[in-house]
Structure 1
Amino acid sequence: MLSAEGEVVSWNAGAERFKGYTPDEIIGTHFSAFYTPEDRASGLPQRALHAARTTGKFEDEGWRVRKDGSLFWASVVIDPIFGADDVLLGYTKITRDITEKRRTLEALHASEERFRLLVQSVTDYAIYMLSPDGLITNWNEGARRIKRLDLAQVEGSHFSRFYTEEDKRKRMPEKALWAAEHEGRYETEGWRVRGDGATFWAHVVIDPVYDSARQLIGFAKITRDISERREAAITLERTREALAQSQKLEAIGKLTGGIAHDFNNLLSVICNGIDLMRATSAESVQHRKILDSMERAAQRGAALTGQLLAFARQQPLTLELLDLSQVIASFEAVLRRAIPSAATFVIRKAPIGKVRTDVSQFESALLNLVINSRDALPDGGAITLETRQVELGDNEVGQLPGGSYALVSVSDNGTGMPPEVAARALEPFFTTKPVGKGTGLGLSQVYGLMQQSGGHVMIASTPGQGTCMSLYFPAETGEGGVEPAASGLEKALIVDDQPDVLDMTVALFQSLGYEAIAANSGAEAIGLLAQHHDIKVLFTDVVMPDMNGVALAQAARQLLPHLNILLTSGYMGAALREQFGEGLAQFDLVTKPYRLADVAKRLRTFSA
């Protein structure tokens, strides 16, 4: 009990245990003795009594002081005592020591704060809470980054706003919450919508959240943007399919090439026999007709084996630097004659630069494609021949490296092909045409041409909608098909332990405008570098018996610090890194077999 002035007038055993004072020590002392100096200075004890007297009760929590000076966290209740005529007689004061409770709450608060900071600091995952009805109640930094919206823009709105219209029509958001609540977890992948309307491929997990009484109080939702991972997986699968198709056609090509060579030998005997028969026998009209028929059949057989060899990439091509737009223009009349009047033929030409290919084989391939489109239009339709230049990324089309390509496409709106037919269309002798209407070698010849030209043929077809055949040729730049890497006769040192490879590479560098010096070992190369300090480029094989190319490059760099160095090898980069370690990473590497354009492109970076 306190007097009306706040002095202690009674003291129980609990007060003695909490505060440490005996009744004799404390009765008559003002109760402010239990307050900290800071609270006394601020007038808190007086305000407490005033509040109790005027409002009927004072409640508070705060630090209080024991006799020994130690502090404890107290819960305090002060009630006024009034006598007759509302005369204030004093106060009752109840104090509880709740230090442990406060410490527990502080620890819980600290834990919650650490968890909040942890969740907020996560930027790769959108982590947020939903009410039982699916309304957004909080929002972390990852959610702001991935969804591109602040908490103020989403708080209280339904999480279905991030679903596509199609998924909302299917009631996917409601199904997700139902599954999370009744199955304990919901996990899926699918398209989601950002705040700016853009879509991304998301991995989503929704977990139900319950209180201590097992009542559902909401959902925890974690969303991850895995668009890049999905694109990488699609690219990998596309590459695997392209590789499998390439390996399949390669195997067929080897078999086909062998058969074609054997048939050429047989046809040579037949043709020579026909010539002998003409020279040694008296020809009647009937006899001459028979020989003529035999000769025509033998010539058709020779043409077929030529197409087989083109598919097998064993038909020697005359690779020339060609402007395909000009080739198409001069060949247009032939193409138009192949198309019936019921079909329309449109040519759309855009500048595509020059490519290296065989002009006669290209014309034959183009005619094959146009005839195939014509045959896919039994009731008439439209055929379009288009040329344009495109930029491709690595493996975007087949297994072609990234760069500039000249695209020639022939498309129609005809019958189209189902996927299983399109997958086999390039195989020799595969045809969907009736017997006698096609040999099945037209597209095989196109495939062989593109392989030998360093390009790729791509088929896009839909049954009932039509087919588009696309030919991708590596674009050449500069005079002679490749932009010269050097002006004047800069010196290049070529090193390879294989004489035939060395000779060919020397010729390649000479065609690029270099004065090429050859060495067939690392030791010989070091001697030449010591003699010729004006060598600008070192082009060396990596795997050589006496001194490997990495060691040679390092020694050459010490000898000529400003030397441009380009390594080459038939081994893949991973195998080389395992063998040569970090030393390999110091230099540029081009893998064998390389094309003229590959080397020229690397050399241009040295002079850039």
Structure 2
Amino acid sequence: MKTQHFNESITSTFIEQVKEYAIFAMDPNGIIETWNEGAERMKGYKEEEVIGKFYGMLFTDEDRASHKPEQELEEAKTHEQFQTEGWRRKKDGSLFWAGLTLTPIYNDDKELIGLTKVTRDLSDKRRAEQDLTRKHDELVITNRDLDNFIYTASHDLKSPILNIDGLVNRLISLFEDKGIQDPELLELVGYFRKSVDRFKTTIADLTTISKLQRTIEDESNLEQVRVQQVFEDILDDLKFLFEASCFPCKVQSDFQVNALNFSRKNFRSILYNLLSNAIKYRSNGNNCHIKVSTYADGEWVVLSVKDNGLGMSADDLAKLYTMFKRFHDHVDGSGIGLYIVKRIVENAGGKIAVTSEEGKGSEFKVYFQS
């Protein structure tokens, strides 16, 4: 008995001295019987102001009117414990966001003899969450404005650049009709032609990005994608790249998972970009060897595209998904393919990873939710 009394004394002293949490005990009807220092600091009431009173005094007027204190008591008695977060009132009338745990206490005969309530001030946490939500909303608005700007700019620039393109073509025709062979003039017209072509490519890329932002499918557009079928379809489209290769290019496939739930159009875009890059960035000194595979990895279905091509340095890997970023000028491209792949994958709740070594090749792994 002495040991039990000593332990109860230690526990009581500990609770009384806890300052970060408001801890108090009530009888089965919610009448406050104990009040620790943390409760006084948090709520502003001294012990003599609350002992013997119904704990509903700590709730907001609205919660008391809707009988929320009584409901919490019943929930705790029914489910052995009740946890929630919500507004609570201090003595001075101010409100704070609280995390609450209400626990029933039973004697040795399993009779309810009271309840304990532990409260923690979560106002800082709530403010942080609200700030994060606000920043997220601001970012969504900024991205939407940026998308609208890209769409408008790419649309409005099409007409004048087509006019310039027509004028350059007309100038070339005039030179040919008049037999003008001045090297300096012809060189200047060539520069005009290259600049116009680059401008047209940039506009096309901006249009592609704008369409991507506006048309990334959500989960309602999921369908059963047959990987082998999409793979064979892409190989037919890439025949021109195989024919342009100076060295034989061998593509192997191993589809352990041959069907997955995804947007077929977006899956095709992902595989097309990864496979065409593997072919375009092949090593000129080796036969091109590419392996495309799928397999299950826990909660993921993984698409792997592995090659023995040029590979990338650590510095290049850090900038890999940057829009319009290209590492090899000898290969045609705009530098938006991998940016698009990453956006599609992450918008669908997946992820993408890459390992690469200069001169030895690269492996891209795309993780789809299974």
Decide which structure has the larger Cα Rg and report it: 1
Relative to its length, the structure with more helix (as a share) is 2
Provide TM-score, normalisation by structure 1. Answer: 0.27
